[in-house]
């Protein structure tokens, strides 16, 4: 049964023996995932880079490990009362899979931004054994609703990350990686792990603390939902006021108390970095176009972290591809965020004087030979001497921006750049 959220005084560490026992319990249901050598990233970073393909799980994410280990250990009485879970989507699929496999009834709460693809997969994996409830705008709101429901019905909460048993189950990823690398004759120098609620990185840190203490662990958080960074600065978990929900598998307002305790006790071997959401999108596209890997945003977090590290030459590095539950309908936004992050796409409000030939002047005197108009929305109002247009430009090179801005400054046509992250940008471009 899931352990309650601990205080420091009640904290019981996770050891390799706990994780090895969990591995033995789940091995009849959950097969090891491949550790795939990546020639492209290895050449790019001058190291031996491997990808741990947790996206190839039956539920397309590592979350099945902690969920199945949790639920399979319940007493008959607890099984009869059923289970409740809250999730951004991946943990829910693991719980749904376990409920069906063990013939237990489950009620699963997901927030409204959870992609339709994930909702559909939850229903597929759980079948008649689960009830899906969509509520709240964030994971934390869905989690509160789940706890209230569990308390009212006497059901067992299966925590997605803030539970010792969940951390133990997720730690089986580390056990597999170490065994696979040993079989290849390699020692692991660095592992990059996506961080949301902290269950995976805590499990991996616990296993390597006993079995490979020289391995450096890099936790990669999305910049728009950096709850672990905030907790490390404050000395304890804190609740972020707002988060960017784009990296939905890691968009958590508050790091789990148990994972935080584990990470804090492993600070000497753990390094934290923040990856921009746009960088995550760029790596998602890179994995898809080069390796044929359909990674969800959280699944590409670890690869986005490579560019933030000083990777030692010829070292052995593993990136955990944590999940592949990505909705194809999101790819337009993914491409947009990637182009903006790379400095190739920019938006402007252009105030055209109401005189003949002004658009021609814009095209010939302001635009460069390789600049492309990808959006043009004319916003002219009646009885005005000028007419505004929203213009989106895609550049061939990020370095082309400064010459473009200089030509705009020298032109009689008034042009104002919309800065990413500003209210105007979000309202006009993303709205």
Q: How many CB atoms lie within 10 A of CB 267?
A: 11
Output DSSP code: residue 254: S
Q: Does the active-site annotation cover 27?
A: no
**Paired sense of beta strands 83-86 and 106-110, if any:** parallel
Q: Does the active-site annotation cover 322?
A: yes
Q: Are 193 and 220 in contact (CB under 8 A)?
A: yes
- Phi-psi sector, 311: left (phi>0), alpha (psi -120 to 50), beta: beta
Which residue out of 72, 206, 322, 338 is catalytically annotated? 322
Q: Are 115 and 144 in contact (CB under 8 A)?
A: no
Distances (CA, A) of 293 to 82, 127, 228, 325, 326: 36, 27, 27, 11, 11
Residue ranges in 82-226 assigned as alpha helix (H): 90-102, 116-126, 139-153, 164-170, 172-184, 199-211
Q: Are 415 and 349 in contact (CB under 8 A)?
A: yes
Which residue out of 52, 63, 118, 253 is catalytically annotated? 63
**Tokens matching residue 74:** 């319940």
**Paired sense of beta strands 216-222 and 270-275, if any:** parallel
Residue 348: its H or E element? strand 345-353
Catalytic annotation, residues: 63, 322
């Amino acid at each position: 049964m899931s352990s309650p959220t601990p205080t420091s005084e009640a904290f019981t560490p996770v050891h390799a023996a706990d994780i090895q026992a969990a591995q033995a319990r789940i091995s009849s249901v959950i097969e090891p995932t491949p550790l795939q050598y990546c020639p492209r990233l290895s050449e790019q970073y001058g190291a031996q880079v491997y990808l741990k393909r947790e996206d190839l799980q039956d539920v397309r994410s590592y979350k099945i490990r902690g969920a199945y280990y949790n639920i399979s250990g319940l007493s008959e009485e607890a099984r009869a009362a059923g289970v409740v879970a809250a999730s951004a989507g991946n943990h829910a699929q693991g719980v749904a899979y376990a409920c069906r496999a063990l013939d237990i009834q489950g009620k699963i709460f997901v927030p409204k931004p959870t992609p339709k693809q994930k909702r559909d997969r939850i229903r597929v994996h759980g079948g008649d054994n689960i009830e899906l409830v969509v509520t709240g705008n964030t994971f934390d709101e869905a989690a509160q609703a789940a706890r209230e429901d569990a308390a009212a019905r006497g059901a067992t909460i299966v925590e997605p990350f803030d539970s010792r048993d969940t951390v133990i189950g997720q730690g089986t990823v580390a056990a597999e990686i170490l065994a696979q690398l040993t079989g290849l004759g390699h020692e692991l120098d660095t592992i990059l792990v996506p961080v949301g609620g902290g269950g995976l990185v805590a499990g991996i840190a616990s296993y390597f603390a006993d079995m490979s203490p020289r391995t450096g662990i890099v936790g990669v958080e999305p910049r728009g939902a950096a709850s672990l960074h905030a907790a490390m600065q404050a000395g304890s978990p804190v609740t972020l006021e707002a988060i960017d929900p784009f990296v939905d598998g890691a968009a958590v307002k508050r790091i789990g108390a148990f994972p935080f305790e584990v990470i804090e006790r492993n600070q000497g071997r753990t390094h934290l970095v923040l990856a921009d959401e746009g960088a995550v999108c760029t790596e998602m596209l890179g994995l898809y176009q080069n390796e044929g890997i359909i990674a969800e945003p959280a699944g590409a977090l670890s690869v986005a972290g490579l560019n933030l590290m000083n990777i030692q030459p010829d070292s052995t590095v593993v990136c955990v591809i944590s999940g592949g539950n990505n909705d194809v309908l999101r790819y337009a936004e993914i491409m947009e965020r990637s182009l903006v992050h790379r400095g190739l796409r920019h938006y402007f409000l252009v105030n055209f004087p109401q005189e003949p030939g002004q658009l021609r002047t814009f095209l010939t005197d302001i635009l460069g030979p390789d600049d492309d108009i990808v959006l043009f929305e004319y916003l002219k109002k009646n009885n005005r001497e000028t007419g505004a247009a929203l213009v989106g430009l895609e550049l061939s090179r990020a370095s082309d921006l400064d010459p473009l801005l200089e030509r705009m400054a020298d032109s009689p046509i008034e042009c104002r750049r919309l800065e990413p992250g500003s209210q105007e940008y979000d309202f006009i471009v993303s709205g």
